Structure formats: structure tokens, C-alpha cells
Structure 1
Amino acid sequence: MNIPIKRMIERVPGGMMVVPLLIGALLHTFLPQTPSFFGSFTGALFTGSMPIMAVFFVCVGASINIKATTYILKKGGSLFLTKIGIAALVGVIAGYFLGEQPIAGGIFAGLSTLALVASLNDTNGGLYCALMGQYGSARDIGAFSIMTLESGPFLTMVTLGLAGLAGFPWQTMLGAILPLLIGIVLGNFDAEMRAFLGKVTDGLIPFFAFGIGASLDLTKVWSAGLLGLGIGVMVVVVSGGALFLIDRATGGTGVAGVAAASTAGNAAGVPAIVAAANPVYADAAASATILVAASVIVTTLLVPPLTMFVANRYGTMKGKDEVRAQSEEHEADTLRETVFKPHG
């Protein structure tokens, strides 16, 4: 007997992140004594999201190939800088009005600078690469090897500091990016290590997602639904508009820019890491996690049809790139094998 559990989970947008997170949150809300009742390894699953995420970012770093073509550097670099630039701008504005704490009441209850920055800072790599496979080119997929530098809490910490909010010691900042750097070194010195660690990345997502969910009390964040919808729409509209324009300005059609206007599934883990690094964000972390997870779902639903519309309206890269890409086909073949394995 074969039950297609994986397929059923993946039918949910961002399912490998969202479904385990929801299961963990339900257990914490209605059966809060579960981890202490079982203890041992079972109890550790409820509280072990941080170590798992540390391993996750080592594997992500190993998947980054620093040997990129000029086109990939230009395309990936421009999209990367635009995405984090938008997050920084929103962070500065939100930080001025909100500070470190979430809004306590009203229709915007739970909204925080942390939630906004974390939603904007990290692109859904699996979604981007899938859309570029359909509407773009191999070189566009390769551009994501640069954008993977968004992964993890480091840029969110930097953005919060730039916004004039509570900062982080340099040791904490280095510690946030060190696993990624270690992975980059391992993967680029040894292709076998890149292949070995790259295979692990996707398999770790549901485990740290469960641990994150197991720290959430749904009775306190049930009202985040509509607000999460609004944040997801904001991510698509604000970052999508800027990314579309920068993609066009650098010689693209705008398709790659729109395809990158999403929130990565692992971004839902960033608020908890930030709060662990600086307790001043502890009050914002719980609701921010839910809001970021909602943004993952919303952007996953909105970005594909929007990308298709832009491709139909402005033309895909496939036809335009066929001739000029022939001389770089050997590079594209290498990229298909070595580029970062998409994460949720």
C-alpha cells in the first residue's frame, strides 16, 4: 500500500513548511504537555528548531556556486540588491512608527517591523526556479545562485539595525551568517560535498517548521489571517513592482523580477532566531512567524499567475535568448547541476 503523503502535503502552497508548522502549533495549543510527557527524542522535536536550522543553512551555503557567469552576476545581483533594498526601506519606515514591538490592538494587532522585514527579505527559490523553467531560461535559473545569499536571519538583523532599532553584538551577527559561509566554503572546494549536502536541504524544512510551530499558541494569533493576507499582497505589489522595473532596466523582460516577488518558506523561522539573538523582539516573534507563514502562502498563490501575465504581455526570455545563449550552453549545463537546490 502506498499513500501519497508527500504529494498531498505539496498540494498546499508552501506545504512542506506550512503543514508541519500548523501541526506543531495545534499540538502546542491543544496538547501543550506533549513534549514533557514523552521527553527524550520526541520532546526534542518540539524544541529543536534552532539546531536543525543551523544545519539547514550549512547545506544551503554548500549549494551556492560562486563560479557564475557575467549575466548571472548581473541578473542575480540586481534582483538580490533590489529585494533587500526594498526590505531595508520598509524596515526604516516601519521602524520609525512601530519600533521593536508589535501593534497591541485593532485590526493591525500583531503587525511588527520584524514581520514586514522578514517577509520581504527572502525569495521562494523553488517557486522562482519553477517559473523560470517555464517562462525564462537556464541562465535565469542560475541567477538564483546569487539570490540565495538572502537566506537566513543575517540580512534581517542588518536591516533592523539600519532602521535604528535594537541592534545585535558582532558575535551574534557573525554567528547568524557563519553556517552559510561554512557551507559555501565546503561546497565550492569540493563538488561532491555540494552534491552531498545539497540533497539534505529540502528534507530538513518540515522538521524545523514543526519545531517553530510547536512554540506558537494559535489562540493568541488567530486574528493574523487577514493581516497575513495583506502582508502577502504587499510583498507581491511592492517588491514585485520594483523587481519588474530593475529586471527591465538590466535587459530582461520583467518576468524574472516578478517571479522573485515572493516569501520563502524558511523565512518563517527568522523571527524566532532574531528573538533568540535579542529578547527585545520576543513579543513580536510569535505573531511575526504566523504573518510570514501567511505571506508564504499568499505570494505562492499570486506570483505564478502574475508571472504568466507578464510573460504573455512582454514576451518570455526563451525565444529571445535562444541564439545568444548557444555560446554559453556549456555554462548552462554546469549550472543545472551545481546551482542551489530550490528551497521553500
Structure 2
Amino acid sequence: MRIKQSVERIPGGMMLVPLLLGALLHTLLPNLPTFFGSFTEGLFKGALPFIALNIFCLGTSIDFRVTPKILKKGGALIISKVGVAALAGLIAGKFIGDGMVMGGLSVLAIIVAMNDTNGGMYISLMNQFGKKEEIGATTIMALETGPFITMVTLGIAGISVFPWPYLVGAILPLLLGMIVGNLDSDIRSMFSKGNAMLIPFIGFALGSGIDLSKVYQAGLTGIVLGVLVVVVTGAACVIADKLTGGNGVAGIAAATTAGNAAAVPAVIAAANPKYAAVAPSATVVIASCVIVTAILVPILTAWWAKRVGRAEKKDNDDQVQVKFST
């Protein structure tokens, strides 16, 4: 049986399929974890430790030795996404506040959906349509992963303040991973593979806190929000890409929501209890965003790459003609 290949055909499937399985079990058999207890119960309720390990493993894959071009490109894309997310959160906060509106939309869901780029999809698209420095920008954009950037964005938007130990604690696993990964290539080789391995466990543990009978509207909201993520963050990233010498392809490729972004609301709620009520619906909204952006962005990236490719070819042909005529 080719279970892994079948799951990976679904956008964000390694996160979303286990999440759906966990939610289904929680909805139909809510007492199952406590019935078995022990390590089995730990699989249902171990989201935060799994997330911490995932962030550490990701950190080990980040190389300190990045070129200025990579730093410039990745930094521009991150700043544009975070800036747009903060602005959207600030505007939404005026109308929604700390709660949520019908359909499960919350400021937390909006900011998380816009903050975190699907690094796997970005690097896949850049390998096909991008340049070397655009591929390498993934190293910088990996810093978006986890709750730290969301906490910072909530602070920038003036929506929430987190004590400094929480902010340090949110990024510490990533920093530790980066340090040991750069000190020892064998450690990098061993732990960097764990990043992908932990994703299904995170998805299952998160799904185990979701009641499907209460979240169908949140899924529909996620579809709308997913389209807005592509349009709004895509426009900002295209501008940032062009300002740093690109043609906009990398900007569109960055306009996604990462599959592991669905893990962020639970961490934020653990750090600040006022988000506990909206975290489950935010998780489902973000999961829908993952699917929507994963479908739309590759199509738009390929279309834009083809369009700018024709334009660049025409410019080159015109330059050749001018050269021969002179």
C-alpha cells in the first residue's frame, strides 16, 4: 500500500489528514484517550511537545552562512508578509476584538494564516521557476515557522502583549536547533529529517481537540480567508520581490499558508488564555486556508512565470535586433 504517496497528493496532507482523523475520533469517541490512558493518551494530547520538537528540528536545517542576496530576498518576503498580517490584524481587531464572528473568523486566524509561508511549496515552485537566490530565500523564510512571529505580529498590531519569557520560549527551540546544527553537520543530518516526521503527530494531536459538529462553518470561512491570503499577501510579496530585483514569481510563490501553521493557535492559547476560546475554530480556518492556497498558488505562479518569461524573451529579442541593426 502506498499510504504516504496517497496522503501527499492532498495539499498539506501530512498535516491535514491526521488532523481530520484526530477530529473524527474526538467527535465520535471523545472518551477514547482517557479510556486507554498512558502513552496512547499522550498521542492525543501531546501537541505542544511535538511542536517544540518540530521547531528544533527545523532549526538544525538552517545554515548561518547565507549570502547577502538570499538574506535580501528572504528578508523582503518575510517583512512584507508580517507587515500585511499586522495591518490586517489591526483592522480586524477594531471590528472583531478578542472574540470571533459567525463562521469562526478571529484576529488570531487572520494573522496566523497570513504570517506563515508553506516553505515546501515555495522551494518546489522556485526549483521550477525561480533563481538560485530565490530558492535559497527559503532558509530565511523558515524563521516564520512557529508561534514567535505571530506573537510579534500581535504585538505590532497592538492586539496582545506577551511577557518576554514567552517570546523567548517561543523561539528558543529554533535558535538551539540552529546553533547545534551549524556546530555539527552530523547533528544537522540527523535532526533535520525529524521536521517532516513530526508533522502527522502534530496534526493528529491538534485534531483531537476539535469537534467536527461545531466547526463546519469555520471550514467555509477558511476558503474565503485562503483566497484573501493569496490576493493580499501575494500583492505585497510581488512588490517586495520586484523591489529586490525579482520578477514577481517568488512573491506569488510565497503567498501561501503553511500546513504547520495550524499548530500555532494552540501554542498562542497556551501562552495567553484569552485566545483559548477561538483557538479550535482558528485551527480549522487555517487548515482550510492551507488547502485553498496550496491549490491556487501553484496555478498562479506557473501562469505568472510564463507571462514574465514571454516578456523577458521579447526584451532580449528586441535587444538582439537593436545590436544587429547598429
How would you bin the TM-score normalised by the shorter chain? over 0.9
| Alpha-carbon distance between aligned partners in 2 of 1:50 and 1:155, rounded to the nearest angstrom | 17
In structure 1, what is the equivalent of residue 140 of structure 2?
146
Structure 1 residue 194, shift from structure 2 partner: 1.4
Question: Does the CA contact (< 8 Å) of 1:100 and 1:166 recur in 2?
Answer: no
1:195 maps to 2:189: yes
| Alpha-carbon distance between aligned partners in 1 of 2:34 and 2:68, rounded to the nearest angstrom | 54
Question: Does the CA contact (< 8 Å) of 1:91 and 1:163 recur in 2?
Answer: yes
1:100 maps to a residue whose letter is: D
1:191 maps to a residue whose letter is: S
Structure with larger Rg: 2
> How far does the alpha carbon of each residue in 1:43-64 deviate from its partner, in whole angstroms, 9 at most, with x for none?
1100001101101101111111
Structure 1 residue 164, shift from structure 2 partner: 2.2
1:304 maps to a residue whose letter is: P
| Alpha-carbon distance between aligned partners in 2 of 1:225 and 1:272, rounded to the nearest angstrom | 17
RMSD of Structure 2 on Structure 1 (CA)? 1.5
Question: Does the CA contact (< 8 Å) of 1:92 and 1:163 recur in 2?
Answer: yes
TM-score, structure 1 as length reference: 0.88
SS at match of 2:159: coil
In structure 2, what is the equivalent of residue 304 of structure 1?
298
SS at match of 2:278: helix
In structure 1, what is the equivalent of residue 88 of structure 2?
90
**Structure 1: segments with no counterpart, 5+ residues:** 320-344
2:105 maps to a residue whose letter is: L
Report the more deviating stretch, 302-311 or 62-71. Answer: 62-71
Alignment of 1:177-326 (within 5 A): 177-315=171-309
- Count of aligned positions: 313
In structure 2, what is the equivalent of residue 30 of structure 1?
28
In structure 1, what is the equivalent of residue 163 of structure 2?
169
| Alpha-carbon distance between aligned partners in 1 of 2:5 and 2:64, rounded to the nearest angstrom | 33
**Structure 2: segments with no counterpart, 5+ residues:** 314-326
SS at match of 1:223: helix
| Alpha-carbon distance between aligned partners in 2 of 1:99 and 1:143, rounded to the nearest angstrom | 34
After TM superposition, what 4+ stretches of structure 1 lie above 4 angstroms from structure 2?
none
> How far does the alpha carbon of each residue in 1:308-342 deviate from its partner, in whole angstroms, 9 at most, with x for none?
011011129x99xxxxxxxxxxxxxxxxxxxxxxx
Structure 1 residue 258, shift from structure 2 partner: 0.4
Structure 1 residue 191, shift from structure 2 partner: 1.8
| Alpha-carbon distance between aligned partners in 1 of 2:174 and 2:133, rounded to the nearest angstrom | 23
> How far does the alpha carbon of each residue in 1:130-189 deviate from its partner, in whole angstroms, 9 at most, with x for none?
101111133321111011111110111111122222321111111111111111111112
1:31 maps to a residue whose letter is: L
| Alpha-carbon distance between aligned partners in 1 of 2:189 and 2:69, rounded to the nearest angstrom | 24
Structure 1 residue 283, shift from structure 2 partner: 1.0
In structure 2, what is the equivalent of residue 135 of structure 1?
129
| Alpha-carbon distance between aligned partners in 1 of 2:71 and 2:41, rounded to the nearest angstrom | 44
SS at match of 1:315: helix
SS at match of 2:276: helix
2:55 maps to a residue whose letter is: F
SS at match of 1:164: coil
1:154 maps to a residue whose letter is: F
SS at match of 1:165: coil
| Alpha-carbon distance between aligned partners in 2 of 1:90 and 1:191, rounded to the nearest angstrom | 40
Structure 1 residue 42, shift from structure 2 partner: 1.0
2:205 maps to a residue whose letter is: G
Question: Does the CA contact (< 8 Å) of 1:253 and 1:315 recur in 2?
Answer: no
In structure 2, what is the equivalent of residue 101 of structure 1?
99
In structure 2, what is the equivalent of residue 60 of structure 1?
58
| Alpha-carbon distance between aligned partners in 1 of 2:24 and 2:153, rounded to the nearest angstrom | 32
1:134 maps to a residue whose letter is: Q
2:171 maps to a residue whose letter is: I
1:113 maps to a residue whose letter is: V
Aligned match of 2:37 in 11, 36, 39?
39
